Amino acid sequence: MTLPLIFDLDLPQLTQQLKDWGQPAYRAKQVWQGLYQNLWAKPQDFSNLPKDLRDNLAENFAFTHLEEAQRLYSKDGQTTKVLFRLPDSQYIETVLMRYEDRRTLCISSQAGCAMGCVFCATGQMGFRRNLSSGEILEQVLVFARQLAEDGERPTNVVLMGMGEPFHNYDATLEAIDRLGDPDGFNMGARRFTISTVGLLPAIRRFTAEKRQVGLAISLHAATDELRSSMLPINDRYPIKDLIRACQEYTEATGRRVTFEWALILDQNDSPEEADRLVKLLHGLNCHVNIIPLNPTQGYAGQRSTRESVAAFKQILDNAGISCTVRVRRGIDIQAGCGQLAERADGGLLQVN
């Protein structure tokens, strides 16, 4: 039987559990700081606790749900991808990307994904299950321990790994809140970005909460016909409604929204499509992240040429729309955007 994961507890729950064991309240704070500040990974590490409490923790809680099954390093040494096996034999992948002044983690919120985006390996894999809040945040802590060995720590976390974060809304935001606790890991909300295909009820809930967490929208097309052929969710939440929700978000929070656009050869990379995007985003406080398509086994589309990428960006630049072309990282180990859930040999990850 799998024990409950200790990272699934918030501080009040942890305090109540220790109180039930007859422990004083300050012990919970010691455990909390051990987990999130000292990054201790097992009960035996908590040398500031009495032995009976360490034994109780070991007998009643798991201190990890992530078993490393595979670790891959990109040829340039800047990207690391880890395949984790969960206790129920599901799998997720997590990526560390090193930049000059940043250490960015791309983490997963689900095993698989139900959204079915045609060019995404995770969508091709299908939905397995939601991750718990503890399983989401533990991905950050695993890499935080490793970075700490070099005197570093994660600077940014993007929920752009496997899964649709807003399809697992409560657990995703609980994980972010727990990692943001000033008495714990103390990672500011602005250091997180959530990427969604556009689940409108969740976007509106997120807007109402006026969080400082970044919001990114997987857009990829400026017309409903094209977008629906790529992202089936568009049939339910069409572009017009999605853009209106984004306007509400920017007005309520004062923050800009990022739109992700995977450039696919002869699909959405034409000057005409760029012009449509300019009209669609006119007057909206936003940034466009242009992403030359990364290859996946289950999709035949090809990435745009360098000339098409440059021309597409130039049209947005000329219209005064903030945009950048994403630096491609980890493509050789299938760690790029849309590639997670693939094996090192290029085949789809098989989960029994």
- Distance CA(91)–CA(109), nearest Å, equals 11
Q: Catalytic: 93?
A: yes
- Distance CA(222)–CA(277), nearest Å, equals 5
Annotated catalytic residue, options 93, 135, 138, 342: 93
Q: Catalytic: 117?
A: no
- Distance CA(337)–CA(327), nearest Å, equals 11
Q: Tokens 């094209």 belong to which residue? A: 226
Our CA dihedral for 114, 117, 121, 124, rounded to 10 degrees, sits at 60
Q: How do strand 91-98 and strand 103-106 relate by DSSP bridges?
A: antiparallel
Cβ count near 192 (within 10 Å): 24
Annotated catalytic residue, options 113, 135, 337, 342: 337
Sheet holding 156-159, edge to edge: 67-73, 79-85, 91-98, 103-106, 156-159, 192-196, 214-218, 257-263, 286-292, 323-325
- Distance CA(327)–CA(329), nearest Å, equals 6
3-state secondary structure of 261: strand
Active-site amino acid positions? 93, 337
